[in-house]
Structure 1
Amino acid sequence: MKNGFTLAEVLITLGIIGIVAAMTLPAVLASYRKKEIEVRLKKFSSTMQNAFNFATVDYGPIQNWKYPTKQNDADEINEFMFTYLFPYLQGIKVCESGDAKCNQFHENFTGHTSNIMPVYIFSDGSCFTMVIGGSSADMGVATIHYWFDYNCAGKPNKENEDIFKFVTRFVNNKGTLFSAGNWRTYEIQDRNTLLEYCKTSDTGDERGSGSCTRLIEYDGWEIKDDYPWIR
């Protein structure tokens, strides 16, 4: 009677285990990454909306706040953040625009090194930057655009894969809306439309830029199987 496995049997068994692991591990890692992104996107959205809500209670309607008057001015954006939002954001720090590492973060967000804006980093390793711009007659003040990176310094540093867009729009007599997407997509309520725009988000179409984040929000902060940029 044999009391154990032969060397050949052990090697065959280990080989089978290795093959199975090689087949299943990528799927496990992809599933984990999707879940991590979903959780952090939802957390960022609720955290920022709550900060605006609390600040509105303390400082009054946002239309009366001291708002940045220049589209890309780091000092004015920092003043806005420190005054109105930082008191309600736990575990956050600013990475100043003069810091080389922060400049790299901003380049990851925007693809360029001009008009470097501050980057705000949460304790969980996610971060965001913001720019001011976009207005229309029905808005009390301009729109704020956000680029949120769920893993900040981590790769791939690509829009719709680990970098996602959000927007704050201040509408007269309608309060403050913090939403996924941008000023062209945040009101879209049809999933098929969002999905088609998301598929073309790398073409430069403004409707595509931000539509992927809006799609994830529309799906209840879930990255569905037909989401085109994360597999």
Structure 2
Amino acid sequence: MTYKANFKIVIGGFTLAEVLITLGIIGIVAAMTLPTVINNAQKKAPASRVHKFYNTMNNALLRSIADHDDVKYWMPEQKVFSYDQNLDFLKIYILPYIKYNHYEPCNGSGGYSRACCVYLPEGLMVFLVDVNGGDIGYYPNGKIKVTTRNYFAFQFNKKEGFDTNGKPIKRLNNKTTIEPYTFNWDGKYESLTSTTNSWGCNKLNKGKAGSFGYCTKLLQLNNWEITKDYPW
């Protein structure tokens, strides 16, 4: 008579085969969901930094106003600032009220020939003043690379005026505070992602003058979150 041994490994009430099947299922589910988790984390980080930058700058502005009077007196003339004038402005009104690592000329990087590059603990701020008021570019990763993921435009004390054709320039939400860039925006939500003007937050606008300028406003209107209609 021949006897055949029948061994069965049992782990916590489950056979080894059942455990392996369960682990395989968990692995498949993890492989399917992990990219989504990573993508959501990648979206949350820059959005959080942009919101923090917005709050930090406006809190600094309030402190500066307490020392230097209203913002409307800081730019009495509508003129294009040189690099030295931009730096002097920052040294008086902005830099004493924020934390930063260092500053330097942007040296034309990204088209900023007159701008000051201020390196922050989290990201890079590019600052300049022209005849329309102040322009601020914020780059969460600390490098001047204009993409919908890394470039967020703000405006500061923008003046009412006219374009080269004599038409009034629209400045919705024009405030003395630092606000998302809205140059010539018509106030319609769908226009923020349009390709009819170069500022629309749309990847098809890449390389155009002022491209992605409205991305910050799109972010703000969605409670500083990257939503499905954001061109990530």
TM-score by length of 1: 0.71
Looking at structure 1, the residues matched to 81 and 125 of structure 2 have their Cα atoms a distance apart, in angstroms, of 15
Looking at structure 2, the residues matched to 221 and 36 of structure 1 have their Cα atoms a distance apart, in angstroms, of 11
| Residue type of the alignment partner of 2:150 | D
Residue of 94, 113, 116 corresponding to 1:115 = 113
Please state how far the C-alpha of 1:202 moved relative to its aligned partner: 2.3
Partner of 2:89: 80
Looking at structure 2, the residues matched to 66 and 147 of structure 1 have their Cα atoms a distance apart, in angstroms, of 19
Partner of 2:128: 131
Q: State which structure, 1 or 2, has the greater radius of gyration over its C-alpha atoms.
A: 2
Report 1:103-182 matches (<5 A). 107=109, 110=110, 112=111, 115=113, 117-123=115-121, 125-135=122-132, 143-153=133-143, 157-171=145-159, 176-182=176-182
Gaps of 5+ in 2: 1-7, 161-173, 195-199
- Tell me the SS of whatever aligns to 2:177: strand
Partner of 1:2: 9
Residue of 44, 57, 72 corresponding to 1:63 = 72
**Cα contact 1:150–1:162 (8 A) shared by 2:** yes
- Tell me the SS of whatever aligns to 2:156: strand
Partner of 1:139: none
Please state how far the C-alpha of 1:165 moved relative to its aligned partner: 0.9
Partner of 2:192: 194
Residue of 103, 117, 132 corresponding to 1:95 = 103
Report 1:28-47 matches (<5 A). 28-47=37-56
Looking at structure 2, the residues matched to 159 and 68 of structure 1 have their Cα atoms a distance apart, in angstroms, of 32
Looking at structure 1, the residues matched to 85 and 76 of structure 2 have their Cα atoms a distance apart, in angstroms, of 8
TM-score by length of 2: 0.71
Length, aligned pairs only: 203
Looking at structure 2, the residues matched to 27 and 67 of structure 1 have their Cα atoms a distance apart, in angstroms, of 50
| Residue type of the alignment partner of 1:132 | V
CA 1:42/1:20 → structure 2, altered by over 3 Å: closer, same or farther? same
CA 1:25/1:220 → structure 2, altered by over 3 Å: closer, same or farther? same
Please state how far the C-alpha of 1:70 moved relative to its aligned partner: 6.4
Please state how far the C-alpha of 1:171 moved relative to its aligned partner: 4.8
1:118-163 C-alpha deviation (Å, 9 max, x unpaired): 321222x21111122243xxxxxxx11111011214xx93322111
